[in-house]
Chains A and B, each alone.
Chain A
């Protein structure tokens, strides 16, 4: 009886047909979610994309840092040739072509002509120290330097110069830097008893040649006559190879550091560019000796504790007369000569020391 009445009671309860249709319609409207295995087939793509993105995020800062390192080490100074510069380089056979060139031409646009480029040897015959750069022809003919790799030539130069420094006859401060390993290259420094010179070379293939020239310079340091192919005056000279390529208007200098020397006098010569070599000679004033130098800077010191710092950089500007200023016992002078801006500061040094340096630069 209970079963019968309970069944009848439930049979009387009937859902609406509308509800059935509604449930069926809603059930088909709602799309079932993706099953796990269907989601997993996208997992590989998502993981690969995540790896690529994360790798890019990690490596991009490294690339940027690397690029900044490459460009940050090399200091390029663009020279705007002016008639003054032409006059400055009047010694060279082809310096007349300079004013006609685009003043903003970069040095890198002129690859060195290794076969024809030739740089004159600059000698400081009045002083004992010599900065000699043999011509590329000579350099090319040299069985010693022609086939020597860059690092080997630098090592040999260092060895030769060390021996020269020990002999106390002459040495040259060669700071060459062409790539990111310029720090290593800039370590090569040579000292002399009387002078020191700094050669800076551009970021081109000519840098290697210049290194080779430095090697020969070290070899020829003891016999300056063999390296002297030009007049032994103190005026800067430009490379003759400028005519062989094209009249180059760019001077690019990449500098390095040099070690202090114990010499009594000092000379800084700066040669630069692919083709145009610019040399600056800075003698030490009386009673001073070269205490140290780096690219664009030379320091002279005396036994009494006075010091004179010479900062120079190529500006390409017109010449300006020296302007002396004195403040709190320190004297400074600024002027421009031959396109090179000089800033000389002295500490506890007499004015005559600065005047001596200025006169030696201007003369």
Chain B
């Protein structure tokens, strides 16, 4: 029993370390606040440890993405955040292009940020995004199209969105 428990702990630690950056960056993309993103990340992995029955690694990844987005949204549904607005922390990048692109995405609505982040950073297909967010593929495509349109406006057409 102890060996089984330790083995489970080891595998859980590995999974946490493997997907920690992904969860944290997605949470930061959704919350736009480092502290809140850390809290969301911790909450996501706590739920991950309380949940079992994951079959594959892709299943775990999809589950973590979906839970991260849901937790990030639920944070702003609380009574505290309905009355307050968190400070947007300035993240410093070494090049102005990174900064322009990143903050242009951060200025988008949250549902556009999610599909842009998953499509361009996680390299997920439309179908995977649709499955992960439990929305239809046309919705994903629509959100991607509208997000790109806004980004072109913000970035003044300086970047191609291939």
Contact = CB atoms under 8 A, between A and B. Distances in A.
Given A19-B38, A23-B42, A32-B50, A6 B121 contact: yes
Interface string A1-18: 111011111101111000
Contacts of B91: 13
A5 B24 contact: no
B144 interface: no
Contact of B20 (A13, A15, A28): A15
24 contacts: A1-B159, A2-B120, A2-B155, A2-B160, A2-B161, A2-B162, A3-B161, A5-B97, A6-B116, A8-B95, A9-B99, A10-B29, A13-B25, A13-B91, A15-B21, A19-B38, A19-B41, A22-B42, A23-B41, A23-B45, A26-B42, A27-B16, A27-B46, A32-B50
B149 interface: no
Contact of A6 (B9, B16, B120): B120
B28 interface: yes
Contacts of A6: 101-102, 105, 116, 120-121
Interface string B9-27: 1001100110011001100
A28 B159 contact: no
Contacts of B151: 2
Contacts of A22: 42
B45 A9 contact: no
Interface string B93-104: 111011111100
A321 B36 CA distance: 102
Interface of B: 9, 12-13, 16-17, 20-21, 24-25, 28-29, 38, 41-42, 45-46, 48-50, 91, 93-95, 97-102, 105, 116-117, 120-121, 151, 155, 159-162
A10 B105 CA distance: 11
Contacts of B42: 22-23, 26-27
Contact of B98 (A9, A15, A24, A28): A9
A37 interface: no
Interface of A: 1-3, 5-10, 12-15, 19-20, 22-24, 26-28, 30, 32-33
B155 to A, nearest CB: 8
A319 to B, nearest CB: 89
A19 B151 CA distance: 32
A279 to B, nearest CB: 85
Given A5-B98, A15-B21, 10 more contacts: A2-B120, A2-B159, A2-B162, A3-B120, A9-B101, A9-B102, A10-B29, A10-B121, A26-B46, A33-B50
Describe B's contact surface by its main secondary structure. Answer: helix
B112 to A, nearest CB: 13
B93 A7 contact: no
A20 B16 contact: yes
A7 B16 CA distance: 21
A28 B46 CA distance: 8
Contacts of B117: 10
What 3 A-B pairs have minimum CB-CB distances, sorted nearest first? A9-B98, A9-B102, A2-B159
A27 B21 CA distance: 16
A290 B30 CA distance: 105
Given A3-B162, A5-B159, A10 B38 contact: no
Contact of A23 (B16, B102, B155): B16
Given A3-B120, A23-B41, A26-B46, A14 B21 contact: yes
Contact of A10 (B13, B25, B160): B25
A26 B46 CA distance: 8
Interface centre among A12, A23, A26, A30 (most CB of B within 10 A): A23
A12 to B, nearest CB: 6
Contact of A15 (B24, B101, B102): B24
A10 B24 CA distance: 10
